[in-house]
Structure 1
Amino acid sequence: MRFELMLPHQIRDAIERNLPVLLPLGVLEYHGEHMAVGMDMLAVTRILDRLEQELDIVILPQFAYGAASYAVERPEGAGSVHVGADKILPIAEEIFFSLLRVGFRNIHGFIHHQTENFTAGMPTDLAFKLAGRQAIFRFLETQYGEGWWGSDRMRDYYTQHDEGIDPFNWICVHPLMDEKITQKYPFDHAGIGETSLMMALAPEVVDRDRFGDNSGWYTESAKDASAELGEMGVGLILDRLKELLVRDAT
C-alpha cells in the first residue's frame, strides 16, 4: 500500500496489524554517462515495488535529496544534487516524529547510497539513524514526561531489549544490501553490480551505447553487466527484506 493513497481506516488497520512502514531513501548522483542519476533511489523504490507484490507493507513517498557528495564528479553538467546531513537531520526527525504520532511502530528506512561500510555510516544514513533515535526520545518524553525510562512501566526494558521489542526498534535504518549479499553480489558505483541492478529493475535508465563515453575507473566493469546478474541481486535483496520485515512484524 502507498501511504499517500491510503484512507484513514486503512491507516488504522495497518497500525493495528503492525505492518512494516518503509521509507525509501536515496540521492541524486552522477553514475557515469550510461546510467541515470537516480540509480541509488531507483534501486530501493523498484525493489519495494516488487516486495509489495509479496508482503503487506506500507510504502512512504521517497526521500531522494540525500547527501550525495561531489566525491565522484563535479555537479556541473553531471547532475549530482547534494544536501548536507546537517540540513537533512531536522527534516528526517520531523518525518519520523510525525509517523510515531500517527501510530506506526514498525518503521524502516532503506538506503543504497554509500553503504559499503554501513556500520561506520555515511552522512545520509547517519542523519536518518540519529533522527530516528531523537524522534523516539522526543516522542516518549512527550507522551510520558521526563523520567519515563526510570518509571515502573519500563521495568522490563532489558528483557524487551534482548527480545528486540523495545521502543528503540520502532525506527530502524538498513542498507539495501548487507554484507551477506555483497559477499555474493558485486557492490560498486556505476560498475557491473549497479548497472546490472538497473538492467533488471529499470532498464530504461541504462544506455549501452554510452559505455564508451565513460572515463572513470569505477565504470570500467559496466560493459560486462547483464539483466541476468541483476536479477540474481534482486533475488538476494528480496529474500533478505522478507526475512527482516516478517521477523520484525511479529
Structure 2
Amino acid sequence: MQFQYQNSFEVKDSIHKSKIAILPIGAVEAHGPHLPLGTDNLLAERLSEKLAERVNAFVLPTLPYGQVWSLRNFPGSINISNDSLMNFLVDIGESLYKQGFTTFAMVNGHLGNGPALKDAARVLFENCPEMRVFYFFYPGMNKAAAEVRETKSSHNTYFHACEIETSYMLYLAPEHVDMDKAITDIPDIPIHADVTPTPWKEFTQTAVLGDAKLATEEKGKYIIDIAIENMAKLINSKY
C-alpha cells in the first residue's frame, strides 16, 4: 500500500488494518556510466514494494538523499550529513508512532546511510518504546552474493555499481540499466581506506568497484529474494 496515495479521511482506518510502515531510503550519487544517479533510490523503493506485499505494509514516500561523503566529489552526487539524516528519520518515526504504527522498517539502498539509521533507531527505541524499529540493508546478501559472483569482491564491505549491484538493478529496475556502457573497474583499495576518511577519488575514477559486465537479472533475483525473505521473517517475528 502506497501511503502517499491515501487521503486523510481513509488513512486512519487503514492504519488499524496494518500498523507496519516501510521507508525506502536511498541516495543520489555516481554509479558509473551504466547506472543512474538515483540507483539507490530505485533499489530501496522497489525492494520496499516487494517487502510490503509480503507483510501487508504501507510504503512511505522514498527519502531520496543520503550521506555520500565518500563520493561527494563525483559529478551528480548530493551529500547530506549523518546528523541531518538521523534527525529526519527520528522525526518520521515519531510521527508514525503518534499515528498508531507499531513497526517502522527502514529499507536502506545505500551503505553510507548505515550509521545514521542505526543511531536513529536507538533514539526511537528510547522515545517510542512500543514501536519496533528495523534498519535493513539486504540482510543475508553476503553469503548469497558469494554463491553467485564470478569475480572476487573489491572489498569485504563495499559493493558498488559492480557485478552485484548492477544485478540488483537488472532484477528490480532493468529499464534504467544500460549494459552497453557497463565497464570493468576493479580498483586496488588501500588498507588505510578502512581506518581513515578516504574519498573514493583516491582509488577510482568511475565509482565502479568490480566487473559490471558480469551482472545478470538471475543473480540479482537470487540475492534479493533471500533478502526479502529474511526481512519478512524479522518483521513477522515476535522477538
Q: Indicate whether the TM-score tops 0.5.
A: yes
Number of aligned pairs?
209
Question: Hey, what does 1:229 align to over in structure 2?
Answer: 219
Distance 1:46 1:217 in 2: 23
Question: Hey, what does 2:228 align to over in structure 1?
Answer: 238
Alignment partner of 2:118 out of 118, 129, 143:
129
The alignment's TM-score, normalised by the length of structure 1, stands at 0.73
* Contact 2:82–2:116 (8 Å) recurs in 1: yes
Question: Hey, what does 1:103 align to over in structure 2?
Answer: 100
* Contact 1:195–1:225 (8 Å) recurs in 2: yes
Task: After TM superposition, give the deviation of residue 17 of structure 1 in Å.
Answer: 4.5
The unaligned stretches of length 5 or more in structure 1 are 115-121, 140-166
Question: SS where residue 21 of structure 1 aligns?
Answer: strand
Alignment partner of 1:191 out of 159, 162, 165:
162
Structure 1 stretches of 4+ with a deviation exceeding 6 A read none
Question: Hey, what does 2:132 align to over in structure 1?
Answer: 170
* Contact 2:51–2:228 (8 Å) recurs in 1: yes
**1:13-162 matches, cutoff 5 A:** 13-17=13-17, 19-69=19-69, 71-72=70-71, 74-75=73-74, 78-114=75-111, 122=112, 124-138=113-127
CA RMSD of aligned residues (A): 2.6
The alignment's TM-score, normalised by the length of structure 2, stands at 0.76
Task: After TM superposition, give the deviation of residue 7 of structure 1 in Å.
Answer: 3.8
2:3 pairs with 1:3 = yes
Task: After TM superposition, give the deviation of residue 170 of structure 1 in Å.
Answer: 2.5
The unaligned stretches of length 5 or more in structure 2 are 147-157, 186-204
Question: Hey, what does 1:157 align to over in structure 2?
Answer: none
Task: After TM superposition, give the deviation of residue 5 of structure 1 in Å.
Answer: 1.8
Identical-pair percentage: 25
Distance 1:132 1:217 in 2: 29
Larger radius of gyration: 1
